Amino acid sequence: MTERPSAITYEIVEETARQAGLIVMGALHPRVTVAKQLDSGSLILLGAGPGFWPVLKAAPEWRGRDPVDQWSLRVIGQMAQQLGAQAHFPFGGPPYAPFIDWALKSGRTFSSPVGALVHDTVGMMISFRGALQFADEVAIPPASAGSPCIACPAPCTQACPVGALNDQSFYNVEACHGHLSTPEGQTCMTGGCLARLSCPLSAGAGRDPEQSEHHMRAFHPS
């Protein structure tokens, strides 16, 4: 195992994440920003970035059950041990860690006009894989200036063919699943949610269509 750095910095966490196929998606100091289940130290949120999919497909978990979650448990667990942190995951409950609250409190994730979360660099193609909690306060970059949705024409409100994601009732799960079961819905099944893809920032995720198809089939098994 790699020797633990003598002093943990945000840049060290960021580079360790990058080498694993992950990106830092936000960070916060609970002493400054009140967040659920946290009271001190630092929390750094990790998510899937452009390098995630090829790394996952080359990993031993790929051919097993729940490959994304099992990979996340192993890799982020190893990162936590290497860097002297406690690992948290958005799965494995109940109870579940409050990742939505943490993401919103980081100042880099916001509520979109259709209710789904939107991130300042990966748009609506958000995939949190875990978080690292440090006992000390690690210096973190300033949060975003504000929601990217403020100056956006909001194509997400019109992109869903059946209005499942919209600015009136937010997410209509029944309508979404119904559409995905039709021939017309195969565009979403193979390429990903059209509403999420319509966000101008979603291109920043570098999402492989195969990855979107994997997530869609987990969400809506045939």
Average pLDDT over residues 3-11: 81
Helix (H) or strand (E) holding 216: helix 209-219
Could you tell me if residue 204 is inside a domain?
A: yes
Residues 161 and 52 in one domain: no
pLDDT at 1 exceeding the cut of 60: no
pLDDT of residue 6: 64
Could you tell me if residue 96 is inside a domain?
A: yes
Q: What number of other Cβ atoms are within 10 A of residue 182's Cβ?
A: 12
pLDDT digits 0-9 by tens, 42-99: 999 999 989 999 999 999 999 999 999 999 999 999 999 999 999 999 999 999 999 9
Closest CA to 205 of 216, 218, 192, 217: 192
What separation, in Å, do the N-terminal and C-terminal C-alpha atoms of the chain show?
A: 41
CB neighbour class for 105 (10 Å; exposed up to 12, middle 13-18, buried from 19) = buried
Average pLDDT over residues 199-210: 94
Residues 28 and 122 in one domain: yes
Number of independent structural domains in the chain:
2
Residues 122 and 194 in one domain: no
**CB 49, CB 42: distance < 8 Å:** no
Q: What's the domain range around 120?
A: 10-134
Residues 73 and 26 in one domain: yes
Residues 63 and 31 in one domain: yes
The C-alpha atoms of residue 81 and residue 78 are separated, in whole angstroms, by 5
pTM of the model: 0.94
Residues 39 and 94 in one domain: yes
Could you tell me if residue 151 is inside a domain?
A: no
The C-alpha atoms of residue 56 and residue 59 are separated, in whole angstroms, by 5
Residues 128 and 189 in one domain: no
Could you tell me if residue 142 is inside a domain?
A: no
Residues 17 and 127 in one domain: yes
Chain mean pLDDT for the chain: 94
pLDDT at 2 exceeding the cut of 70: no
Could you tell me if residue 201 is inside a domain?
A: yes
* The two three-digit tokens of residue 133, written as one number: 């909690």
Q: Give per-residue burial for 109-125: e unless 16+ CB within 10 Å, then b.
A: bbebbbebbbbbbbbbb
Residues 103 and 31 in one domain: yes
Could you tell me if residue 145 is inside a domain?
A: no
Average pLDDT over residues 171-183: 94
Could you tell me if residue 149 is inside a domain?
A: no
Residues 89 and 171 in one domain: no
At position 198, the amino acid (one-letter code) is S
The C-alpha atoms of residue 171 and residue 74 are separated, in whole angstroms, by 32
Average pLDDT over residues 169-188: 93
Residues 49 and 120 in one domain: yes
Residues 72 and 171 in one domain: no
